[in-house]
Structure 1
Amino acid sequence: MLRELTPDDQQTILDFAYQREIENMFVIGSFEFSPNPFEFNTYLGYFENDTLIGLGTYFGLWSDIQINAQSRSVINAFVDEFIQRKLPVKYVIAIKRYALPTIERLKTHGREPEKITAQTLRLLKQDRFHDQSTGAETRATHQEIDHIIRLEHLVEENEADKEITEVERTRIFPDYEWLLHKEGQLISKANLHGISKNFAQIGGVMTHPAHQGKGHARQIVSAISRHWLDQGKQVTLVVSNENTTAIKVYDALGFQPVEEFIHAQYS
């Protein structure tokens, strides 16, 4: 039986997610980042004999579907329900064995991905960490939200002067952003994408085009990694298999590949 989960089901969601913790950091982290994640996200559960055997999550701020279920039929049921609810889908970002059947089911509803990127989930443990931070890195403040978004616009869309929307501001959690400045200008950043009891997942790594190739990404990733390793967590991140430059950076810091990942983008 499939049904929508409510705040009363929060512990059930977390108990299920922690069965495969490293696969569900976005779900677990959604309860860390927001006091009421049900305001933005839709959580669907698939039950068998009153036991939750599958979890489908729609992250509303990003229009992203993430499904965690071992059965293909359960994955199909989640996709069908999301489509029936007319939820706009812009991304499917997940472990490969869950992402591919999700993408295939979306195709049966006429949703073809615009782009599919093969990625790898990489893991960093304390005993392998080669710290290259300098202490110049800082945590973001609320006053720096627009600066962060402008850097994202410049790096991702080459439009530094693009208008900033309130939705974009809502997506930024300053407490989880690490920044690097040079002469008062934000030149590199990274943030926390997901978190759980034992893991912290880094994302949003980017450097101003005029300052790339100078080790700033290595420095900022070191800083955020050191922080979470010191909290007793292992650190993960996802990188495109084609991004050989970034892979070399992460290898140098001590990250090792652990899971195949898929990032599918829809128009």
Structure 2
Amino acid sequence: MIRELTEKDHSIVMEFLFQNPSINLFIIGDIEAFGYHATFQKLWGEFKNGEVTAVLLKYFESYIFYCQDKDNFDVNGFATIMYSNNKPVTLSGKAELVERFENHPNITLGKKRVTYFAQCGTKRELQATETIKNATIVDIDRIVALQHSIDEFSTTDETKEMLKKAIESKTGRTYFLENDRGNIISTVSTTAENSQSAMIVGVCTHKDYRNNGYASKLMTALINDVLAEKQYVCLFYDNPEAGKIYKKIGFEDIGLWTMYR
């Protein structure tokens, strides 16, 4: 049976999600931040013998799905919930789970992208002579200016507002390094921070300052600080060369994450 979740289900839902806090960091974070009655967020759960076996989150127009058994959930029921009048559905989750919705007659999924999902649960030794700073609201313009200068980054009008909201709500933080002229030359951020885990994003270094290990030092400092509060730090990557760097820092692959946008 699938039904909409309420705060009455909170304890059993979180117990279910906490069994895999890294994979579920987005769902956990959104529940902790916004609960069950936000106008832009809804949650559904599948129940068997009184136990939660699958959860679907709708955050604005995007969905995230999770269950423990890829071969034992109501694909048709969840697909019906996501039906959007033949418009492409934005869906993400562990690859082996969400890929079961591909070619389903009830929904059309957006463009597919598959990335590696990695986690780190161990602090690392930090050797940095540079001064690492934790960004505040006043640093946002300089951070966005650096990201805008890098071809791999896509900044929009919402980028500043998202950084601002993350800092204010403490659902994200950004560490950075400056050169001797006060220009930000390297940054790394977290997003979706919750009681259990956090996601690393926004790793970037100005093209004139690359190959100096700045991003690795920032990541190590950030990871150590986050792990003083939480169990895991996570990240997505699709570049094997980047993956080698992350693994040197202490990340381990725990699966594939598929996004349809």
Q: 2:55 aligned with 1:55, yes or no?
A: yes
Map of 1:248 onto structure 2: 244
TM-score between the two structures when normalised by the length of structure 2: 0.78
Map of 1:226 onto structure 2: 224
Which sits farther off after the overlay, 74-83 or 203-212? 203-212
TM-score between the two structures when normalised by the length of structure 1: 0.76
1:247 deviates by 1.7
Q: CA RMSD in A?
A: 3.3
CA contact (8 A) 1:177 1:189 kept: no
CA contact (8 A) 1:41 1:59 kept: yes
1:131 to 119, 126, 131: 126
Distance in 1 separating the partners of 2:98 and 2:9: 24
Distance in 2 separating the partners of 1:15 and 1:210: 47
Q: 2:173 aligned with 1:177, yes or no?
A: yes
Residue 117 of structure 2 aligns to which amino acid in structure 1?
Answer: T
Which consecutive residues of structure 2, in runs of 5 or more, have no partner in the other structure?
none
1:98 deviates by 1.8
Map of 1:9 onto structure 2: 9
Distance in 2 separating the partners of 1:85 and 1:8: 31
Q: How does 1:162-173 map to 2 (within 5 A)?
A: 164-165=157-158, 169-170=161-162, 172-173=165-166
Distance in 2 separating the partners of 1:145 and 1:247: 28
Q: 2:151 aligned with 1:142, yes or no?
A: no
Q: 1:207 to 1:24 in 2, by over 3 A?
A: same
Q: How does 1:210-225 map to 2 (within 5 A)?
A: 210-225=208-223
CA contact (8 A) 1:116 1:263 kept: yes
Richer in helix (by share): 1
CA contact (8 A) 1:125 1:235 kept: no
Residue 187 of structure 1 aligns to which amino acid in structure 2?
Answer: I
Q: 1:86 to 1:113 in 2, by over 3 A?
A: closer
Q: 1:11 to 1:190 in 2, by over 3 A?
A: farther
What is the SS of the residue equivalent to 1:22? Answer: coil
1:56 deviates by 0.5
Q: 2:116 aligned with 1:119, yes or no?
A: yes
CA contact (8 A) 1:132 1:222 kept: no
Q: 1:108 to 1:20 in 2, by over 3 A?
A: same
Which sits farther off after the overlay, 203-212 or 44-53? 203-212
1:225 deviates by 0.6
Map of 2:41 onto structure 1: 41
CA contact (8 A) 2:115 2:236 kept: no
What is the SS of the residue equivalent to 1:231? Answer: coil
